[in-house]
Structure 1
Amino acid sequence: MRKIAATFFLTACAFSARADFIDFYNGVSLGAAMPKSDMVFLGPAPALDGKLQLIDFWATWCEPCRDSIPKLNALHRAYSGKGLVIIGVTKEGREPLAPFLQKNPVKYALALDGEKKLYTALGIRGLPYAIFVNRAGTIVWRGQPAAISEQLVESLLAKDGG
């Protein structure tokens, strides 16, 4: 009887965890317009008009976020000349970023959302989180940066006229 109860309990936990995972992504709808943002870029703001945008929401303390940086750097190298702009957005201030970026170089654009307006508008409740925004300003993909592949980028660029 204990084994049955334990199995039932673990199954219930697994389903509730999965429900939380699904709910996590319900903050932003595919097909929704990208909200206007007043994020502050740490360097020159990239030209966004006519570009497919990959916006990665991250933090220095987030291990999966840090693990995504080499992949995003590689995607930036491979696709920045083909119509893709990558922007890493954090709600942290400038102070923790400087020492972090010395040890972990980021080759794509970085921006601050210090007032959390973009995080709030998109309903982001956890990190890491990424979205693709097409040239028309529509959100066309959402999920974990670890799930982004070259095939996905190429597919979105092709659909977007890239």
Structure 2
Amino acid sequence: MQRRAILGLGAAGLVAAGAGAYLALRHGHGDSAGGTAAGPAAGPLSPEAAAFWNASFDTLDQSTYQPAQHLRGKPLLLNFWATWCAPCVKELPEINQFHDEFAAKGWQVLGLAVDAPTPVRGFLEKLPLKFPVALAGLTGTDLSRTLGNSKGGLPFTVAFGVQGEPIWRKLGATHLEELREMARSVTV
């Protein structure tokens, strides 16, 4: 019985180590000390910011989305959400409205779905969003924790300034007025 328990713990440890190595490679955590060469505001980043900017995500059309290539150098509102999360679903129309109002002022929005492709695709058919959505899958929770979501809950929203560093965070549903207020306080 004791030998079986030890073997079980050893196997669990191997699985955890393998998963950690996979996540580190998949999300670029192997080199979290600096920034990337993409974008006009490229420069040294904090480890938490580098974890996001150096990551890559799948899209619904099965291509790869790299934030540093598409978004760096302008303020960004990043929202972690899932189709099964009622507060997430409730806040998405307001985030879409924020995108409509602030895109002309330089703001970008990215939704990272902590979900599988099929439910996200179905959801977006019912509620099309005007901002890009990428798939973070279940590893999105780990990335959100790196960005300050200590509880790992959803929804979780982070705003990045033009230099690529987090400037605002919120766990729980956002509201349009608080997003407007946050954006007005940021120099673009």
TM-score (norm 1): 0.69
Task: Name the count of aligned residue pairs.
Answer: 128
Which of residues 140, 146, 150 in structure 1 aligns to 2:174? 146
Q: Could you report, residue by residue, the CA deviation over 1:108-134 in whole angstroms, capped at 9, with x for unpaired residues?
A: 110111261523533541001100111
Distance 1:63 1:100 in 2: 12
**Pairs within 5 Å for 1:42-53:** 42=60, 47-53=70-76
Residue 127 of structure 1 aligns to a residue whose secondary structure is coil
Distance 1:127 1:153 in 2: 21
Match of 1:37 in 2: 55
Match of 1:133 in 2: 160
**Pairs within 5 Å for 1:2-21:** none
Q: Higher relative contact order by CA 8 Å / sep ≥ 6: 1 or 2?
A: 1
Code of the aligned partner of 1:80: A
Tell me, which stretches of 5 or more residues in structure 1 are unaligned?
A: 1-30
Tell me, which stretches of 5 or more residues in structure 2 are unaligned?
A: 1-44
Match of 2:26 in 1: none
Distance 1:154 1:41 in 2: 30
Code of the aligned partner of 2:104: G
Does structure 2 conserve the Cα–Cα contact (< 8 Å) formed by 1:64 and 1:128? yes
Q: Could you report, residue by residue, the CA deviation over 1:46-104 in whole angstroms, capped at 9, with x for unpaired residues?
A: 73132101000100011110111111111111111211111111121111112111111
Code of the aligned partner of 1:141: W
Shift of 1:42: 3.7
Which of residues 92, 96, 99 in structure 2 aligns to 1:76? 99
Distance 1:57 1:115 in 2: 11
Please give the root-mean-square deviation of Cα atoms over the aligned residues, in Å.
2.3
Distance 1:133 1:75 in 2: 15
Does structure 2 conserve the Cα–Cα contact (< 8 Å) formed by 1:50 and 1:83? no
Code of the aligned partner of 1:127: L
Does structure 2 conserve the Cα–Cα contact (< 8 Å) formed by 1:53 and 1:84? yes
TM-score (norm 2): 0.60
User: Alignment identity in percent?
Assistant: 30
Q: Could you report, residue by residue, the CA deviation over 1:13-70 in whole angstroms, capped at 9, with x for unpaired residues?
A: xxxxxxxxxxxxxxxxxx9541221222346857313210100010001111011111
